[in-house]
Amino acid sequence: MISVDEALDHVRRAAAPLPAERTPLAHLLHLRLAEPVASRVDSPPFDKSMVDGYAIDVSDSSPTLRELELVTAGSVPNETVIPGATVRVMTGAPIPAGADAVVKWEDCQLLSDLEIRNPAAGVKSGSCIIRRGTSFRAGQLVLAAGKRLGPLDVALLAEIGQAEVAVIPRPRVAVLPTGDELVAAHEPLGPGQIRNSNGPMLLAAVAAADCTPIDLGVGCDDPDDLRTRINQGLAHDVLLVSGGVSAGVKDLVPGILQELGVEQQFHQVRIKPGKPLYFGVRHAAGRRTLVFGLPGNPVSTFVSFQLFVLPALRALAGAPFKPIAAHDAQLTMPFEHRGKRPTYHPCRQTAPDAAGVLQVEPLDWRGSSDLATLTRATHLAAFPAGDYQLVPGDDVQVIPL
């Protein structure tokens, strides 16, 4: 049995970023750029008006100005602003030659249909004009490689005319809960049966991690059925199997994975819950698939997902590999730990103390099938292995959920 850190090292080695793919703007959200992006254009691409008004030459001292034409956004001026003349411009319109400022129409006095009093007195050159290249110049780097793209980055790519860009794709993650005892939430429970909660949980957790979930249905504890479904799962970047990985007569998953060419990296980790965790990698036809066999108890499945699968998914998607960060906290209640495995115990944040230290209360958790308590938890407290008693105020490391 290996330690959590050793297990994470195996996952780290296998979880190199997926190969980059050119992807259109509509599908870029939360993906990471595989290349730096420089603009091929100046932005804005021309000097433009920031207001609806009159483009003028501030040095013109003529008492009145005659309107030569109206220029709206999307059209171009034909006339030049000469002494005694103005061009009426709408917001976003290009500035005509000869003009060096725009005055809002409500600050101008209309004398007749096409004539205004010259509003130049006190107006600064450049006023209400945004100059070509103010945001950035052609050739300038606008987005760095590795950046996780948000809505503003997508907008920026559109602004520079980059209709598609090379990004690390969203990992495709197949989910296969296994067990003859499992029935779906809408089906009646027969004797000895339980509902499949891991399947919906993992599909949701995969989606929450910005990956694409693929539902492989529920596998029976039957070699042929498992072989077929696992084979389907191996066509994706990651396969998450839940159940069937411990020592029971129907725990067939590790054997079938081996048969299908998955190279086991580890099986069993010194951790509670989640001891029977399996991890393997298959390389076939130029594709690498990471395979996690998650222990079937729902809390074990979830904790294993958080600690081992989530860092792998993030690294496949191009982020640096990083174990889930632990924070310092203090216990508000006594806690007795027994056992040779470190325990990740559901706990609940109370208030930070006066010094801002996070305070947590270990919950009355009834073990690896007690999903209900986990839903009330805000953190997992990481208690080291050993037999010992902790008291309120003792330090503990916690992982946010």
CA 1 – CA 385 distance, rounded (Å): 14
298 binds ligand LQZAQKY5 (CB under 6 A): yes
CA 326 – CA 384 distance, rounded (Å): 13
Exposed e or buried b per residue across 356-372, where buried means at least 16 C-beta atoms within 10 angstroms of its C-beta: eebbbbbbebeebebbe
169 binds, among ligand MOO, ligand LQZAQKY5, none (CB under 5 to 8 A by kind): none
298 binds, among ligand MOO, ligand LQZAQKY5, none (CB under 5 to 8 A by kind): ligand LQZAQKY5
77 binds ligand MOO (CB under 6 A): no
**How far, in Å, are 74, 77, 273, 346, 370 from residue 366 at the CA level?**
67, 76, 11, 10, 6
Among the candidate windows 165-173, 195-203, 351-359, 382-390, which touches ligand LQZAQKY5 by CB under 6 A?
A: 195-203
Q: Which is nearer to ligand LQZAQKY5, 161 or 248 (CB)?
A: 248
- Chain-centroid distance of CA 194 in Å reads 33
Q: Pairing state of beta strands 194-195 and 182-183?
A: parallel
251 binds, among ligand MOO, ligand LQZAQKY5, none (CB under 5 to 8 A by kind): ligand LQZAQKY5
Contacts to ligand MOO from residues 208-247, by CB under 6 A: none
Among 53, 368, 390, 396, binds ligand MOO (CB under 6 A): 368
Q: Omega before 44 cis (within 30°)? A: yes
Contacts to ligand MOO from residues 285-304, by CB under 6 A: 295, 297, 300
Site string for ligand LQZAQKY5, 363-382 (x = CB under 6 A): -----x--------------
**How far, in Å, are 39, 59, 142, 319 from residue 168 at the CA level?**
20, 54, 18, 10
Min dist CB 296 to ligand MOO, Å, is 8
254 binds ligand MOO (CB under 6 A): no
Contacts to ligand LQZAQKY5 from residues 133-192, by CB under 6 A: 177, 179, 181-182
For residue 332, give the amino acid letter.
T
248 binds ligand LQZAQKY5 (CB under 6 A): yes
DSSP 135: S
Q: Who's near 312: CB < 8 A, 6+ residues apart?
A: 11, 14, 15, 238, 290, 292, 321
CA 259 – CA 327 distance, rounded (Å): 41
| 176: alpha, beta or left? (left if phi > 0; alpha if psi -120 to 50) | beta
Among the candidate windows 132-140, 149-157, 208-216, 238-246, which touches ligand LQZAQKY5 by CB under 6 A?
A: 238-246
Among 39, 297, 330, 343, binds ligand LQZAQKY5 (CB under 6 A): 297
276 binds ligand LQZAQKY5 (CB under 6 A): yes
The residues with which 173 forms a beta bridge, in sequence order, are 213, 238
274 binds ligand MOO (CB under 6 A): yes
* Cβ–Cβ < 8 Å for 182, 193: yes
**How far, in Å, are 104, 269, 376, 401 from residue 167 at the CA level?**
44, 34, 37, 28
The residues with which 195 forms a beta bridge, in sequence order, are 183
379 binds ligand MOO (CB under 6 A): no
Among 195, 275, 288, 348, binds ligand MOO (CB under 6 A): 275
Q: Phi and psi of 398, rounded to 5°? A: -130, 150
Among the candidate windows 68-76, 142-150, 245-253, 259-267, which touches ligand LQZAQKY5 by CB under 6 A?
A: 245-253
53 binds, among ligand LQZAQKY5, ligand MOO, none (CB under 5 to 8 A by kind): none
Q: Which is nearer to ligand MOO, 278 or 321 (CB)?
A: 278
Q: Pairing state of beta strands 358-362 and 327-331?
A: parallel
For residue 344, give the amino acid letter.
Y
Q: Which helix (H) or strand (E) holds 288?
A: strand 287-294
Among the candidate windows 48-56, 188-196, 215-223, 266-274, which touches ligand MOO by CB under 6 A?
A: 266-274
Nearest to 1 by CA among 265, 254, 268: 268
Among 88, 229, 236, 272, binds ligand MOO (CB under 6 A): 272
267 binds ligand MOO (CB under 6 A): no
Q: Which residues bind ligand LQZAQKY5 (CB under 6 A)?
A: 177, 179, 181-182, 194, 196-199, 242-248, 251, 273, 275-276, 295-298, 300, 368
Q: Give contact residues for ligand MOO (rule: CB under 6 A).
A: 272-275, 295, 297, 300, 368
